[in-house]
C-alpha cells in the first residue's frame, strides 16, 4: 500500500468523523488535506484512482445505512458517488498547476463544481455535502443566506487548500509576501463576523403554534392492512393529546395515513371528523389516487379545523428505485432484487403553497376583538429538503415557513435521520424561514431561521424509534434573502471559474 493510498484513506476517515453520529465537525477543516497531498504531481489516471478510492470509502462511511433498504442499491450508490471525487481529482490534474493565490481559490471552486454536479445530475443527490458537517456551527453557516450551502463548502476547502499550498511553499523554500493562511484567515474572519451578527439578529413577526406527531410505526406494519386501524388510532390519540396545547396546525409524517385518502371513504371521513373534533388544521401525509387512468401520488393534504380538505400537494421529486422505476425498459431487472416492491408513483407538478386562516380573540369577553391572520406554508416530502432550489421556489411563491414530512424508519438506528436533518438546517438558513420536521421516526423537530434546532420529539434522551408529539410557537418573519432571490449564483461562479482554468489549460497546451 503506497503512501498516497494511505493519505486517501486518511481523508475519508477524517471526513466521515465530521458527520453524524461522530460530529467531530472541526476535522472537516483539515480532512481534504491528506487527499491534496496524495494527488500532488500524480498522473491523471493515478490521481483519479486515488481520489475515487477516497470517495467510495467516504460515501460508504456516511451512507452505510442504505444496507437496511437494499445491499445491491447501497453498493451501486457508493460506487457511483465515488466518481465525483474522481472528477475532482481529474479537474485538479488537468488545470493545475496554476500559480499563487489563483490555485488557492481554484481548489475550492473545483470542489464546489463537483458538489453541484452530484446534487444536480441524474436527479441529484446532495446528501452529506461538506458544508453539512458544520450544521451545528451556527456562525459559520450563516453565509448560506447569500451563497447557499456551497459557500460553506468553499470556505472549508479554502482552509484545506491554504494549508496545503503553505506546506508546498515551505518545502520549496518559496514564500509569499502575504501568506496564503493570512489571506484565508481574513476571509474566514469576515465570514464568521457576518455569521455572529446574523446569529444575534432577533426575528420578529406574527407567531403561530405548530405541533408535530411522531407515530413510530414499524416498517413491517406500515402497509399491512391488518394494522391499519391500529395505526390510525395511534395518530388519532397523539393528535388529540397534542391538541390540548392549542396548536394552530398539527402535522403528521409522510404517508402516515394508512390508506388512500379520497378513495377510501371511511378513512377520509375519520380524518374529517378528527380535524373537526380537535378544531385544528391537520396536515397529513398520505398516498392518493387521481385521474381516469388512476395515477398515484405521494401527497400532503391539509384539513381545515371544520374538517374540509383545503388543498393538496403532490410530491414532485420522487425517489428513484423506491417510488418509481426510471427507464423501465432498461432497469426492469432491478425489481427482482428489491427487498420490497418498487412504487409506481407519478410526480406532482405544482409548487403548492398551503393557506389557512387562524383567529385570535380577546380573553376579555366584553372587549370582544378578533384578529384573523392568513398563514402560508409549503411542504417538502421525504428527501425533497435536500434540494435547495425546491425550498427556494416554495418561499418565492409566498411560503412563510417550510414543513418536511418524512419517514426515516427505513434506515434503522443509524446516522441517516441526523444527516437528513442537516439538509433542513441549511434550507432554514438559506431562506431565513422556520423548518418544521415531522417524521414517522427520525428527527421530528423545529428549526429556526438561524438553523438552530430549538426543540424535538424525544423521550428519555432518545429521538429515534419513539412515539410522541411536540408543540412550539414559531415566528413568521417576511424576509427575502439574497439566496432566495437569486439562487445558486455563488455555485455558478465557482463553475465558471473552474471552466476558465480548464480552457486556459487548453490554450497553454496548444501553444506548447
What φ, ψ does residue 461 adopt, rounded to 5°? Answer: 65, 15
What's the sign of the alpha-carbon dihedral 459, 463, 466, 468?
positive
Residue-by-residue DSSP string for 411-450:
G-SSSHHHHHHHHHHHHHHHHT-EEEEEESSS--EEE-TT
25 and 133 Cβ atoms separated by less than 8 Å? yes
- The residues carrying an active-site annotation are 254, 315, 382
33, 35, 36, 39: CA torsion to nearest 10: 160
Residue with cell 393538496: 312
Which grid cell is 123?
A: 436527479
> What span, in angstroms and rounded, lies between the C-alpha atoms of 481 and 444?
26
62 and 419 Cβ atoms separated by less than 8 Å? yes
Sorted by sequence, the CB contacts under 8 Å of residue 440 that are 6+ apart come out as 214, 215, 216, 217, 222, 253, 254, 255, 256, 406, 407, 408, 409
Q: What residues form DSSP beta bridges with 212?
A: 251, 470
Nearest-5° angle of CA 340, CA 344, CA 349?
135
> What span, in angstroms and rounded, lies between the C-alpha atoms of 447 and 430?
12
- DSSP reduced 3-state for 209: strand
Amino acid at each position: 500500500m503506497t503512501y498516497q493510498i494511505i493519505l486517501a484513506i486518511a481523508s475519508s476517515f477524517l471526513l466521515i468523523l465530521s458527520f453524524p453520529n461522530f460530529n467531530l465537525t472541526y476535522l472537516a477543516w483539515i480532512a481534504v488535506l491528506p487527499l491534496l497531498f496524495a494527488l500532488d504531481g500524480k498522473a491523471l489516471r493515478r490521481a483519479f484512482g486515488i481520489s475515487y478510492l477516497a470517495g467510495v470509502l467516504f460515501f460508504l462511511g456516511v451512507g452505510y445505512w442504505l444496507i437496511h433498504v437494499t445491499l445491491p442499491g447501497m453498493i451501486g450508490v457508493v460506487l457511483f458517488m465515488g466518481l465525483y471525487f474522481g472528477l475532482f481529482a481529474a479537474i485538479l490534474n488537468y488545470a493545475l498547476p496554476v500559480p499563487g493565490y489563483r490555485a488557492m481559490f481554484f481548489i475550492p471552486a473545483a470542489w464546489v463544481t463537483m458538489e453541484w454536479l452530484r446534487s444536480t445530475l441524474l436527479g441529484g443527490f446532495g446528501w452529506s455535502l461538506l458544508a453539512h458537517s458544520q450544521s451545528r456551527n451556527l456562525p459559520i453557516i450563516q453565509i448560506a443566506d447569500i451563497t447557499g450551502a456551497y459557500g460553506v463548502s468553499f470556505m472549508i476547502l479554502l482552509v484545506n487548500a491554504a494549508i496545503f499550498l503553505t506546506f508546498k511553499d515551505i518545502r520549496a523554500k518559496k514564500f509569499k509576501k502575504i501568506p496564503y493562511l493570512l489571506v484565508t484567515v481574513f476571509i474566514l474572519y469576515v465570514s464568521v463576523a457576518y455569521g455572529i451578527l446574523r446569529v444575534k439578529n432577533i426575528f420578529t413577526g406574527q407567531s403561530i403554534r405548530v405541533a408535530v406527531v411522531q407515530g413510530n410505526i414499524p416498517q413491517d406494519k406500515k402497509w399491512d392492512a391488518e394494522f391499519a386501524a391500529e395505526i390510525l388510532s395511534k395518530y388519532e390519540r397523539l393528535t388529540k393529546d397534542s391538541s390540548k396545547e392549542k396548536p394552530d396546525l398539527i402535522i403528521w409524517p409522510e404517508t402516515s395515513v394508512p390508506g388512500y385518502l379520497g378513495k377510501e371513504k371511511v378513512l377520509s371521513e375519520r380524518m374529517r371528523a378528527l380535524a373537526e373534533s380537535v378544531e385544528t388544521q391537520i396536515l397529513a401525509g398520505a398516498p392518493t389516487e387521481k385521474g381516469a387512468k388512476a395515477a398515484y401520488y405521494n401527497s400532503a393534504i391539509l384539513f381545515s379545523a371544520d374538517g374540509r380538505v383545503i388543498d393538496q400537494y403532490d410530491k414532485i421529486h420522487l425517489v428513484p428505485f423506491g417510488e418509481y422505476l426510471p427507464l423501465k425498459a432498461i432497469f426492469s431487472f432491478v425489481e427482482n432484487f428489491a427487498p420490497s416492491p418498487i412504487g409506481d408513483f407519478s410526480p406532482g407538478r405544482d409548487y403548492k403553497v398551503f393557506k389557512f386562516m387562524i383567529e385570535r380573540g380577546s380573553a376579555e369577553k366584553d372587549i370582544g376583538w378578533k384578529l384573523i391572520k392568513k398563514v402560508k406554508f409549503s411542504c417538502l416530502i421525504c428527501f425533497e429538503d435536500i434540494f435547495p432550489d425546491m425550498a427556494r421556489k416554495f418561499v418565492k411563491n409566498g411560503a412563510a415557513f417550510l414543513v418536511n414530512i418524512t419517514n426515516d424508519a427505513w434506515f434503522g438506528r443509524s446516522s441517516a435521520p441526523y444527516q437528513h436533518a442537516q439538509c433542513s438546517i441549511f434550507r432554514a438558513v438559506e431562506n431565513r424561514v422556520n423548518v418544521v420536521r415531522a417524521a414517522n421516526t427520525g428527527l421530528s423537530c423545529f428549526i429556526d431561521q438561524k438553523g438552530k434546532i430549538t426543540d424535538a420529539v424525544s423521550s428519555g434522551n432518545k429521538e429515534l424509534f419513539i412515539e410522541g408529539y411536540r408543540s412550539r410557537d414559531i415566528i413568521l418573519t417576511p424576509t427575502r434573502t439574497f439566496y432566495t432571490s437569486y439562487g445558486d449564483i455563488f455555485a455558478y461562479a465557482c463553475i465558471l471559474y473552474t471552466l476558465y482554468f480548464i480552457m486556459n489549460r487548453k490554450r497553454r497546451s496548444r501553444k506548447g
